[in-house]
Amino acid sequence: MCGIVGFTSRSASAVGPLVSGLRRLEYRGYDSAGVALECDEGIKVFKQTGKVAELDALLKKELPEEERGKFTVGIAHTRWATHGLPTTVNAHPHIADGGSLALVHNGIVENYAALRSGLEKHGVKFVSQTDTEVLAHLVATFDKGDLLAATCEALKRVEGTYGIALISAKHPGEMIVARKGSPLVIGVGEKDIVVASDVSAIVAYTRQVIYLKDGDVARITPDGVDIHSLDFSPVSREVQEVDWDIGAIEKGGYEHFMLKEIFEQPDALRNTIRGRLDAGEGTAILSGLNLRPRDLAAVRRLVIIGCGTSLHAGMVGKYLFETLADIPASAEQAAEFRYCNPIVGPDDWVIALSQSGETADTLAAVRESNRKGALVSGLCNVVGSTIAREAGRGVYLHAGPEISVASTKAFTAQVTALLMTALKLGRTRRLSLEEGVKLVAEIERIPDLISEVLKKSDDIAKIAEKYAKADDMFFIGRGILYPAALEGALKIKEVAYVHAEGYQAAELKHGPIALLGEETPVVALLSDIAGKEKTLGNVQECRARRAPVIGIVTEGDAAAAAAVNDAITLPRTSAPIAPIVTAVALQLLAYHVARLRGCEIDQPRNLAKSVTVE
């Protein structure tokens, strides 16, 4: 959600790196931005509602280029409003101690009201509506000469989540950062140190990074990083190397990151699959799971947890595990799972899906599952993320960074990873060697199948022109394609701002059919797999109400193509692969509709990439 950047150097100006870092984090979603810079005269703060470009314009106006060299330490932030309206006053950084201390914060301080009341009784004056300002004043209250110690004392009194960075004119050249439930990464360069809530803001300077863990508090100077726990005990954290470079987060000639990431899917899934299939044994090699065949055979139930797009991937996974591994499975919304006192135990395998590995509700569900003694695995895209660490075992997607808020390649990579996991589990049960070998061959074809779908982009764009003005749409599918219908509806909601609903095809006539008419297109998923004939019957019901139907059909299926108004043809696949290629076509449809409607595709209104608050 919100973005944090910090920069300290022996000689380089912090202004450029801070603004550049904020631009790298724009995809996370935000409504205001600000920077705080340290110099001999104290702390200077610049804040602005709107985009980072507007903050940059303010800095260019207020801070001449010749003055910037004296600011070698600074912090910056993009805010997504929670407590208080998106105004300049509520924007970060927040100041305390007479303007000598500045702080930025991601997360939620759950007991901020009580803390604020206590501080006000001691004469502290607040100017914003935010919970973050409480943190700034709290640290200032405890500052008796050691800023790290003051931060530790303040954070001991905080309930909730935080990723913070702060600077103080009383402690020149020093930056303090801390995390609990909200990610922070420290990039260690030869001359500069960069802090950010996402590694994408760091890789332009260094690929050597330290991932802070919950409870870590670090003092950062140009000379190095000193990490402690909240009880002030020193701790050691490994320096790791980021396995992608700055080119991975550039648009590379594409108009939008979303389109780039849609077209990256063949290579992304090759990376997800690479080295993980054993054609001879007809199984998958997933060493990160760290599970022996005996462990897998002992599993009696699968529970897949996620939110949004990850939940839809998990719903595909439910079908895969039940079909291939002959084991009961369910897909659960992570927040609901946590709060419904779930019945899970040692015989249950909980698989947590999260692109970022930081999704707050999913992380809380992981912790609840661990407390109840379940076998827990994480399936994440971001190496070193909190869910990956706390699960202790799992599968990294290796899909590369995803910048557009609307997830595309992470979804197809998640489904592919779940398919390989179901194959591995199935081979410990009733899936034969012959069936396993056949499925391995099909999985290896996925990148090429997606490439074939991508060739249809121009054709899909022409279809999008016919329906771009629609205000309502329905997506219908059966069986394993039902989650793909939900994901298609979600994509067009996210990026095109079209009201859309996904339904089991049979459910359409149990109420929603009353909404159909000439202005309400229906997208019917009609791949030539089990359930197609029944869905064709539902298509006829839609057309009888004069609703235009866009069909996602298999190449060569003349009957299905003739039954719809417009057909998007896909290569022939088996049922386990069908949701993947279907999703790519629906991503392209959503993208082209959004483009035609003039929407802000990569940064949709009100949305954030990584949801780190519940």
> In degrees to the nearest 10, what's the CA dihedral of 41, 47, 52, 58?
-70
Q: Which of 51, 424, 491, 609 is catalytic?
A: 609
Distance CA 463, CA 552 (A): 12
Tokens standing for residue 301? 């139930």
Q: Which of 2, 39, 152, 542 is catalytic?
A: 2
Distance CA 360, CA 339 (A): 13
CB 195 within 8 A of CB 209: no
Helix-, strand-, coil-residue percentages of the chain, each rounded to 5:
40, 25, 35
Please count the CA atoms within 13 angstroms of the CA of 520 that sit on its side-chain side. 18
Distance CA 475, CA 523 (A): 5
Distance CA 206, CA 193 (A): 9
Distance CA 158, CA 368 (A): 21
CB 473 within 8 A of CB 498: yes
Indicate the angle between helix axes 409-427 and 433-454, nearest 10 degrees: 170
CB 477 within 8 A of CB 601: no
Distance CA 258, CA 201 (A): 19
Q: Where are the alpha helices (DSSP H) in 288-333?
A: 293-297, 309-324
Q: What DSSP letter does each residue of 260-296 carry, written as one string?
A: HHHHTHHHHHHHHHTT-EETTTTEE--GGG---HHHH
The phi and psi torsions of 76 (rounded to 5 degrees) equal -145, 165
Tokens standing for residue 597? 């409607």
Residue 372 falls in the annotated catalytic set: no
Residues 6+ apart with CB under 8 A from 575: 323, 479, 480, 529, 530
Tokens standing for residue 85? 């309206």
DSSP H or E stretch at residue 371: helix 360-371
- Assign 3-class secondary structure to 104-131: EEECCECCHHHHHHHHHHCCCCCCCCCC
Cα 210 to the center of its chain, rounded Å: 20
Distance CA 527, CA 557 (A): 9
Tokens standing for residue 269? 């899934």
Residues 6+ apart with CB under 8 A from 49: 31, 32, 86, 87, 88, 91
Residue 609 falls in the annotated catalytic set: yes
Cα–Cα distances in Å, from 371 out to 292, 368, 390? 22, 5, 12
CB 314 within 8 A of CB 354: no
Cα 464 to the center of its chain, rounded Å: 27
Per DSSP, the three-state class of 356 is coil
Catalytic residue numbers, as ranges: 2, 609
